[in-house]
């Protein structure tokens, strides 16, 4: 298939359309505005529906409704906007409604900066809403990977009856790169996907509440609620098989960089520079940041590794918490950090690597 030059946000939207997404509701916020703008043009061309809601809260609940009717549905926002959507996302998880959403993240906390950051890691992987539910969280480092992960996210959501998050920092969302787009699902394929949900979707027939949803207002059966929590926990545990991670030049590395998203991409270029200079540096880049690829860190040779270098655009560091759990005290952990809209530089990572090697 021919390669086309696309901005990250627009590529995410096009990948969703090609995956069969036929409903999008969203609200403007930088740096994700190109996603709803693209959907507003594209949805009428494929017989889908685009709505600009009056707020983030309204938009996510529109997606909840459309997804409840069996339509592949999506929303997107950036950082504080995602926080506003958290209740609706939690309700979708509770009602076992498949949906996909994207966070093109920016600096914070609060309204923060409109420039890129990676300060939403805790929100994305640990507390996307109340009630302790979990989601698959996919973090691309290239526009091509953003396309591929978005396309696949709809399959994950339908398989699990659960929300799926694309966590793409503002650099990935706003940069332009050549991509190969996935195949466009035909009208017949889109109809078949929706028809397969007829047993539980809100399409005008009598619902089987015993099998459809945890949420039954006025019928708060604590035993049933616990049983549903237990079933959900078993589903979350099954995601181990879906973990994706890039391990690059790790086997003999004296320094292993741990980073995701744009920081992971920068880290990989640092590895190449260091290897060309005879320095043994490697990279572990989680693609699935939840569940986290803890096992990848078992592949480090701790007899030669001087330190794992956590690289992220967040102060205080957040990814480092999972890195610590993965390393299990087998070597020191150092950090290379920036935040607030400042973008990680190769120079900063190279300096941090050299400082470790010099010890």
- Those residues with Cβ within 8 angstroms of residue 300's Cβ, 6 or more apart along the chain or in another chain: 250, 253, 256, 282, 284, 308, 327, 330, 331
Q: Is the domain of 176 the same as that of 294?
A: no
Q: Is 50 helix (H, G, I), strand (E, B) or coil?
A: strand
Q: Is the domain of 301 the same as that of 348?
A: yes
From the list 104, 117, 208, the residue with the least C-alpha distance to 165 is 104
pTM for the model: 0.95
Per-residue pLDDT 10s for the chain (359 aa) are 679 999 999 999 999 999 999 999 999 999 999 999 999 999 999 999 999 999 999 999 999 999 999 999 999 999 999 999 999 999 999 989 999 999 999 999 999 999 999 999 999 999 899 999 999 999 999 999 999 999 999 999 999 999 999 999 999 999 999 999 999 999 999 999 999 998 888 887 665 555 555 455 455 678 888 888 999 999 999 999 999 999 999 999 999 999 999 999 999 999 999 999 999 999 999 999 999 999 999 999 999 999 999 999 999 999 999 999 999 999 999 999 999 899 999 999 999 999 999 98
- Those residues with Cβ within 8 angstroms of residue 303's Cβ, 6 or more apart along the chain or in another chain: none
Q: Is the domain of 205 the same as that of 272?
A: no
Q: Is the domain of 185 the same as that of 275?
A: no
Q: Residue 80: give the domain boundaries.
A: 3-241
Residue at a domain's end among 241, 259, 284:
241
Q: Is the domain of 152 the same as that of 188?
A: yes
Distance CA 213, CA 206 (A): 14
- Those residues with Cβ within 8 angstroms of residue 34's Cβ, 6 or more apart along the chain or in another chain: 7, 9, 10, 13, 173, 174
Q: Is the domain of 106 the same as that of 249?
A: no
Q: pLDDT tens across 46-60, in order? A: 999 999 999 999 999
Q: Is the domain of 51 the same as that of 35?
A: yes
Token look-up 């996909």 returns 100
Q: Is the domain of 216 the same as that of 89?
A: yes
In whole angstroms, how large is the CA radius of gyration of the chain? Answer: 21
CATH of the domain at 172: 3.40.50.970
Alpha-carbon distances, residue 258 vs 74, 114, 246, 261 (angstroms): 30, 25, 10, 11
CATH of the domain at 297: 3.40.50.920
Residue at a domain's end among 241, 263, 287:
241
Helix (H) or strand (E) segment spanning residue 41:
helix 34-42
Instruction: Tokens for 206, please give them.
Output: 């009598």
Q: Is the domain of 77 the same as that of 178?
A: yes
Q: Is the domain of 212 the same as that of 250?
A: no
Which residues share a beta bridge with 283? 248, 257
Distance, first Cα to last Cα, the chain: 49
Instruction: Tokens for 260, please give them.
Output: 């995701």
pLDDT at 225: 83
Q: Is the domain of 59 the same as that of 196?
A: yes
∠ CA 36-37-40, nearest 5°, is: 85
Residue at a domain's end among 191, 226, 241:
241
**Helix, strand, coil shares of the chain as percentages rounded to 5?**
45, 20, 35
Alpha-carbon distances, residue 197 vs 69, 97, 209, 212, 248 (angstroms): 8, 11, 15, 11, 40
Helix (H) or strand (E) segment spanning residue 333:
strand 333-337
Domain total in the chain: 2
């Amino acid at each position: 298939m021919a390669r086309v030059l696309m901005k990250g946000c627009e590529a995410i939207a096009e990948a969703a359309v090609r995956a069969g997404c036929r409903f999008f509701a969203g609200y403007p916020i930088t740096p994700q505005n190109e996603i709803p703008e693209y959907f507003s043009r594209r949805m009428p061309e494929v017989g889908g529906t685009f709505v600009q809601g009056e707020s983030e809260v309204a938009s996510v609940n529109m997606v909840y409704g459309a997804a409840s009717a069996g339509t592949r549905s999506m929303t997107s926002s950036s950082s504080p906007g995602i926080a506003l959507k958290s209740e609706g996302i939690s309700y979708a998880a509770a009602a076992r409604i498949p949906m996909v959403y994207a966070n093109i993240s920016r600096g914070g906390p609060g309204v923060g900066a409109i420039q890129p950051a990676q300060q939403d890691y805790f929100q994305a992987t640990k507390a996307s809403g109340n009630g302790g539910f979990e989601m698959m969280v996919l973090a691309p480092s290239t526009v091509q990977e953003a396309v591929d992960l978005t396309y696949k996210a709809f399959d994950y959501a339908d398989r699990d009856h659960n929300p799926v998050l694309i966590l793409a920092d503002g650099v990935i969302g706003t940069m332009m790169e050549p991509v190969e787009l996935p195949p466009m699902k035909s009208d017949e394929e889109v109809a078949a996907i929706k028809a397969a949900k007829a047993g539980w979707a809100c399409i005008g027939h009598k619902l089987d509440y015993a099998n459809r949803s945890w949420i039954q207002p006025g019928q708060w059966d604590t035993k049933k609620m616990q049983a549903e929590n237990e079933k959900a926990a078993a589903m979350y545990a099954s995601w181990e098989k879906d973990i994706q991670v890039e391990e690059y030049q790790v086997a003999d590395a004296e320094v292993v960089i741990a980073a995701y998203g744009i920081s992971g991409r920068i880290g990989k270029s640092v590895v190449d520079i260091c290897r060309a200079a005879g320095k043994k540096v490697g990279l572990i880049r989680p693609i699935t940041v939840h569940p986290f690829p803890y096992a990848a860190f078992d592949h480090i040779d701790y007899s030669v590794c001087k330190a794992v270098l956590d690289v992220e655009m967040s102060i205080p560091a957040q990814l480092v918490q999972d890195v610590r759990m993965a390393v299990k005290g087998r070597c020191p952990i150092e950090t290379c950090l920036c935040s607030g809209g400042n973008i990680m530089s190769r120079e900063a990572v190279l300096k941090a690597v050299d400082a470790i090697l010099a010890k």
